[in-house]
Structure 1
Amino acid sequence: MKTSIRLYSLAFLAIIGIASMAKGQMAGDTEATDTTTVDSVKEVPETAIVDEVIWVVGDEAILKSDVEAMRLQAAQDGLRWNGDPDCVIPEQIAVQKLYLHQAAIDSIEVSQSEVSQMVDQQINGWIQMIGSKEKLEEYKKQTVTQMRNELNDVVKDRLMAQKMQKQLVEDISVTPAEVRKYFSTLPEDSIPYVPTEVEVQIITQTPKIEQQEINRVKETLRDFTDRITRGESSFTTLARLYSEDPGTARQGGELDYTGRGMLDPAFANVAFNLTDPKKVSKIVESEFGYHIIQLIDKRGDKIKVRHILMKPQVSDEAVENCLNRLDSIRNDITAGKFTFEEGASYISDDKDTKNNKGLMSNATEMTRTSKFRMQDLPSEIAIVVDTMKVGEVSAPFSLINNRGKQVCAIVKLKNRVDGHKAKITEDFQVMKEVVENKRRAEKLHKWVVDKIKVTYVRINPRYKDCKFEYDGWIR
């Protein structure tokens, strides 16, 4: 969906926009007492405005800078708009705000680990696309840390909106008869084309981090604890300066009220046992690295804490040793000493696939399947799989997994189905998803239109001639 284009809000400009709204943009809602002042605001050329509020949806403002940032990012990603960007972009932002407002009402949450994983995937994808971390920083004129900080709120909002959409359409289902009826009425040139799909199995091994490096991280965290305890530094300051969690570092390491189930289990076990806000926890190892935690408050079954995360660095030698181990495993599989499936079940470190004989799962917003289009695979895996034959086991390679950790892997191409026109006898699941997606889109479209009717909307008059996807914006 085109709506997956990222909303890169420039948060610091919101202050300017809100001030502008308070001083001038909202003046039309009350009777003006000084017509000279109002006229002078209207006469300011648009090009002279640093930033302004162009839409208001509920109590949320959409800034001109939001639109320009989204337009710029789309251009950098090579994405094109289906219509006039000046109209399409603010409407997409407005629709997301409707979903976010409903998500807040329904108490929908996303965990910081989910956000961090998505941020890491996004940045790692950019790095793979452009060639290196250094080239990416040069291209974007930002450090990776700055990119992470900028992406954090954007990704969190995107995930919240997606969860809200999923909840709204979770009851959508169709029968085989409905699927056959739908496609029986379609002309031949409208039958969907099924792109090449593959099923991939994977075995991963995690490079061993040297004890010296682990000791360095732990000693640094102990030093932080001592400095906090002695009153030499605050937890908040140290988190801002040194925490490697991009989602919380700029907030002084603060995680807002969160339930136990939304946190890493090891992290949650320690955090929920804290009782004294003045004390710092022992060092905690989670799947993301090592933490120290400080309690802020408890409220029912939720906890508010701050933390500092540090990640031990993997050496080049450790990666090389890991690749060599996997090369030996591959040789044993090829020699018939054991199967790839057995290796995945007993040797692989990948907890998401080892209980499924290494078979990778493609989880989208609405469905979960083992079939991947090439563009849906992690880029490092897609490059390897592209030239493989069914049943072949790859040479070892390294990649960044969905938790932001460097791992080594071998993959087996389990199945490949070349692209073709969908057939009801062979591609029923694909055709079923087409019908379900159509029903979901119809329901979401109706929900947005209905939501607009009961939501305060105020739009700059220059957008009145736009051809919007949803009715009701202009009143």
Structure 2
Amino acid sequence: MRKFGFTLLSLIIFFSAAHAQKKTLDKIAGVVGGSIILQSDIEFQYARYLAEGGQPNDNVKCQLMQRLLTQKLLAQQAIIDSVSVSEDDVDQNIDRRMRYMIQNAGGQERLEQFLGRSVIQYKDEIRPDIKEQAVAEKMQRKITEKVGVTPQEVKRYFESIPKDSLPSYNKEVEVGEIVFQPKLNRDEKAYYRKKAEDLRTRVKAGEDFATLAIAYSQDPGSAPNGGDLGFGDRTSYVKEFSAAAFKLKAGEISPVFESDFGFHFLQVIERRGEQVHTRHILITPAMTQAAIDRTKTKADSIYDIMIRNKSISFSEAAAAYSDSKDSKYNGGMLLNEKNVDARSTFIPTDQLDPQMALVLDTMKVNAISKPQLYTAQDGKKTYKIVYLRSVTPAHPANLTQDFPKIKDLAQNNKVNRTVSQWFEKRRKETFIKIDPEFQSCGQLKTWLTPSLLTSVQAEPAAVATETAKP
């Protein structure tokens, strides 16, 4: 149903570490103008870094301190420049974070147990920091919004790169696909719908929903928890699920409905405003050989129309017949997943599906393959017709072939220099003080003048916060 990034153990580690650090006296770790950075701020974020799978590393705390110093400096400039963010934007940012945490914790109640407070209280606590982050990010975008590069600057940047340091680009291809996904017919689906209907009947007759979900539901993310999906809003689920969930009152059970995942029915446990706490049972139909055979017949017929009859182009066939939502509206052409914003169709061959790469190796430019059966990692089978539009061999960077890539490098270089120059100037104009514990951090040396370095060594800052109270 949904993807879970944190494990339950990770969350326990995260909140336990955060809780433990609050029992100690807090102190001021840094000062930027009129703003302070508490040691607890850094420890809390370090605990989260560990919970997300990071390896213990004291240098990470140096990086966190640098990020907070940067955030404070940008936020202060934002006040001067009247840069702000709306409260609605902050609310949406917080809500996205909380949905993620609730889903990964296995529900709002479990998250509140880990936090030791209600979600509402926690949202109030993190709101100032989330708002400051958003303001700082907007301020940095303002600093660089007018930064651009001309063709002459791109050329100068490229010529400034030592010949032995020029980037090399792997072999790239432009490739299109028409995807045919096997589909069960009504009679084949009927067995699985009836299975879901029978389970719903058992629940309505009084059998325990959670017990049946554990035994029969085929959603690996929720079945072990009795089908419990925790709280979510309308954007948390596929549209069919949301449509069913938000029609019901607490305690009510939906009819059986179909989504891309299979046949479900759900129960609403609780509603809180625009969030709903649900549990469900999912029955996933197994693909039949007959459905796969029907799909091959369809793919073969489309191939014949394109190649033998030549009555339709590849892009027209993709738009009319492909089951790929990612490529059908792009003439069937695949986009570079690592450069989607630029809508680049040039894809390094090492990023291709290995099955597709093998097929492309046998093709010439402008060729269209016969339908081939592909098997995804999850075992799902599809037929694909593949079109090879172009091949660019591996080569050292040059302006003729790689101007867009080099332009991106030149743009990023200019943006970074602009930001660095801005920070260099503001650091000299702003009072900055860093606790001796962090003065061995190499990346923080530029944040202090020698005079300030001396004064802070003689005057460590400490403060007892409310979290230190018994």
Shorter-chain TM-score range = 0.5 to 0.7
8 A contact 1:9–1:70 mirrored in 2? no
Give the alignment partner of residue 314 of structure 2, picking from 334, 340, 355.
340
Deviations 1:264-306 (A, max 9, x none): 333333333x132222112222223222222344445444433
The Cα of 1:195 is off from its aligned counterpart by: 2.0
Letter in 2 for 1:12: L
Distance 1:355 1:12, change over 3 A: closer
1:51-66 matched pairs, under 5 angstroms: 57=42, 59=44, 62=47
Distance 1:432 1:396, change over 3 A: same
8 A contact 1:204–1:407 mirrored in 2? yes
Gap regions ≥5 residues in structure 1: 1-6, 31-54, 72-84, 117-163, 451-456
The Cα of 1:203 is off from its aligned counterpart by: 0.9
Letter in 1 for 2:176: Q
Tell me which residue corresponds to 2:349: 374
Letter in 2 for 1:398: L
Give the secondary-structure state (helix, strand or coil) at the position aligned to 1:323.
Answer: helix
Tell me which residue corresponds to 1:390: 365
Between the two structures, name the one with larger relative contact order (CA 8 Å, sep ≥ 6): 2
Distance 1:205 1:166, change over 3 A: farther
8 A contact 1:62–1:90 mirrored in 2? no
Q: In 1, distance between residues paired with 2:196 and 2:290?
A: 25
The Cα of 1:247 is off from its aligned counterpart by: 3.9
8 A contact 1:87–1:468 mirrored in 2? no
Give the alignment partner of residue 199 of structure 1, picking from 174, 185, 188.
174
Asked if 1:266 corresponds to 2:251, the answer is no
Asked if 1:314 corresponds to 2:320, the answer is no
Q: In 2, distance between residues paired with 1:97 and 1:238?
A: 49
Give the secondary-structure state (helix, strand or coil) at the position aligned to 1:390.
Answer: coil
1:7-18 matched pairs, under 5 angstroms: 11-12=8-9, 15=12
Letter in 1 for 2:9: F
8 A contact 1:293–1:306 mirrored in 2? yes
Q: In 2, distance between residues paired with 1:96 and 1:314?
A: 50
Asked if 1:106 corresponds to 2:103, the answer is no
8 A contact 2:42–2:64 mirrored in 1? no
Q: In 1, distance between residues paired with 2:284 and 2:67?
A: 34
The Cα of 1:182 is off from its aligned counterpart by: 2.5
Q: In 2, distance between residues paired with 1:441 and 1:364?
A: 20
8 A contact 2:213–2:223 mirrored in 1? yes
TM-score, structure 2 length as denominator? 0.60
Tell me which residue corresponds to 1:277: 250
8 A contact 1:70–1:89 mirrored in 2? no
Number of aligned positions between the proteins: 371
Percent identity between matched residues is: 26
Q: In 2, distance between residues paired with 1:107 and 1:404?
A: 37
The Cα of 1:19 is off from its aligned counterpart by: 6.1
CA RMSD of aligned residues (A): 5.2
Asked if 1:428 corresponds to 2:415, the answer is no
Tell me which residue corresponds to 2:259: 286
8 A contact 2:18–2:43 mirrored in 1? no
Q: In 1, distance between residues paired with 2:212 and 2:172?
A: 47
Deviations 1:423-460 (A, max 9, x none): 3343221112223455677899999xx9xxxxxx99xx
Distance 1:409 1:257, change over 3 A: same
Tell me which residue corresponds to 2:160: 185
Deviations 1:139-167 (A, max 9, x none): xxxxxxxxxxxxxxxxxxxxxxxxx9999
Q: In 2, distance between residues paired with 1:302 and 1:356?
A: 35
Distance 1:315 1:267, change over 3 A: same
8 A contact 1:281–1:292 mirrored in 2? yes
Deviations 1:303-357 (A, max 9, x none): 4433333321112343244234323433443324333223212222223322222
Q: In 2, distance between residues paired with 1:201 and 1:222?
A: 41
Q: In 2, distance between residues paired with 1:201 and 1:270?
A: 36
The Cα of 1:390 is off from its aligned counterpart by: 0.9
1:15-414 matched pairs, under 5 angstroms: 15=12, 29=25, 57=42, 59=44, 62=47, 106-107=93-94, 109=96, 174-177=148-151, 178-234=153-209, 236-251=210-225, 252-260=227-235, 262-272=236-246, 274-338=247-311, 339-364=313-338, 367-399=342-374, 405-414=380-389
Give the secondary-structure state (helix, strand or coil) at the position aligned to 1:275.
Answer: coil
